[in-house]
A and B are shown apart, each in its own frame.
Chain A
Amino acid sequence: MTVDDRLSATFGALADRTRRAILARLASGEASVTQLAEPFAMSMPAISKHLKVLERAGLIRRGREAQWRPCRLEAGPLQEIAGWIEHYRRFWEENFDRLDDYLQQLKKQPGGRNKETRHVRKQRRR
Chain B
Amino acid sequence: MCANNAGVDRATESSRWDLVMTRTFDAPRDLVFKAWTDPKQVQQWWGPHGFTNPRCEVDARRGGAMRIDMRGPNGVVYPMQAVFEEVRQPERLVFVTRALDDKGNSMFEVRNTVTFVEHGGKTELTLEAQVIRATAVAPEYLKGMEAGWSQSLERLAAHVRSPRQRADN
| A residues whose Cβ falls under 8 Å from a Cβ of B | 2-4, 7-8, 11-12, 14-15, 20, 23-24, 78, 80-104, 106-107, 113, 116-117, 120
A9 to chain B, nearest CB (A): 9
* Interface pair A90/B35, CB less than 8 Å apart: no
* Interface pair A102/B143, CB less than 8 Å apart: no
Given contacts A106-B31, A117-B38, 5 further A-B pairs with CB under 8 A are: A11-B132, A98-B45, A103-B32, A104-B26, A107-B27
Contact count band on B: 35 or more
- Asked, given contacts A84-B138, A85-B17, whether A101 binds B45 with beta carbons under 8 Å apart, the answer is yes
- State which of A15, A20, A83 has its C-beta within 8 Å of the C-beta of B139: A83
A25 to chain B, nearest CB (A): 12
CA distance A93 to B127 in the complex (A): 10
CA distance A8 to B134 in the complex (A): 5
- State which of B49, B129, B143 has its C-beta within 8 Å of the C-beta of A98: B49
A to B CB contacts below 8 Å, 13 in the list: A7-B136, A11-B131, A14-B17, A15-B130, A20-B17, A90-B146, A99-B25, A99-B32, A103-B26, A106-B27, A106-B35, A113-B41, A120-B40
Q: Is B162 an interface residue (CB 8 A)?
A: no
CA distance A104 to B110 in the complex (A): 29
CA distance A116 to B34 in the complex (A): 13
B169 to chain A, nearest CB (A): 26
